[in-house]
Amino acid sequence: MGSNRVIVKLSGEAFADPELNYGIDPVTVDRVATEIAQVSRNGHEIGIVVGGGNIFRGLSSGAQGMDRANADYMGMLATVINALALRDALERAGAQCRVQTAITIQQVAEPYIRLRAIRHLEKGRIVVFAGGTGNPFFTTDTTAALRAAEIGADYVLKATKVDGVYDADPEIDPSATLLPDVTYMEAITKRLGVMDTTAITMCMDNNLPIRVFNMMVPGNIAKAVNGEDVGTLVR
């Protein structure tokens, strides 16, 4: 089940310094970029949605007492910083890349234009989608589902720090087991923490499978894009 066009959702935490859990770690970003560039060269069309949690997130303790919409806009700007770092690393890895942002910042990125994004993908360029949906109160998970539906992706690939979806929190419960296959409704009703409910519902409505996998394991990104059995498949 080889994929052709996919959206890879990278959490902001994926960019963070492993010691500090904050900021941008060039070693991690370069490794992820090298893997994605290689997969792109193999003929897959790749869109990437980046989070901003390594810099600022609207629902974090750092946003306490702030107006929620204002805090969310700050989080959106954080995703733009990550997107620029990723584009730089992808281009150094030999890939052609464009950043499109839902918030207009013309000096640093293209505005998000659906047909232009599709054209970039058809030409073999990687497109990094930044700025979330451009609206407060939506997560970057929802952005990944939305962009995947808009560009006609085959899969949403959620790259995380855990091996997939478990029946309990593996950090709390050592007997938690990895679930290879989950339905959309199970993910929602059992609150399995795949993505937020809005994102899962949007994938369900558009018949978009979600694969959740551990991006910290070298080679897993390529496996996920190639449609291999890695992590958990939600469908």
- Dihedral angle sign, alpha carbons of residues 219, 13, 27, 91: positive
- Terminal alpha carbon distance of the chain: 14
The phi, psi pair for 198, rounded to 5°, reads: -60, -45
Bridge partners of residue 181, in order along the sequence: 233
- State the pLDDT at residue 197: 95
The rounded distance, in Å, linking the Cα atoms of 133 and 83 is 14
CATH classification of the domain holding 170: 3.40.1160.10
Cα–Cα distances (Å) from 201 to 9, 21, 99, 134, 181, in that order, read 16, 30, 27, 19, 17
Q: Tens-digit pLDDT profile for the chain (235 aa)? A: 445 899 999 989 888 888 887 899 999 999 999 999 999 999 999 999 999 999 998 877 878 899 999 999 999 999 999 999 999 999 999 999 999 999 999 999 999 999 999 999 999 999 999 999 999 999 999 999 999 999 999 999 999 888 999 998 888 888 999 999 999 999 999 989 889 999 999 999 999 999 999 998 999 999 999 999 999 999 9
Cα–Cα distances (Å) from 75 to 70, 99, 164, in that order, read 9, 17, 25
Domain containing 80 equals 5-234
Instruction: Supply the pTM of this predicted model.
Output: 0.94
Return the ∠ at Cα 210 (arms to 58 and 204), rounded to 5°: 90
Structural domains counted in the chain: 1
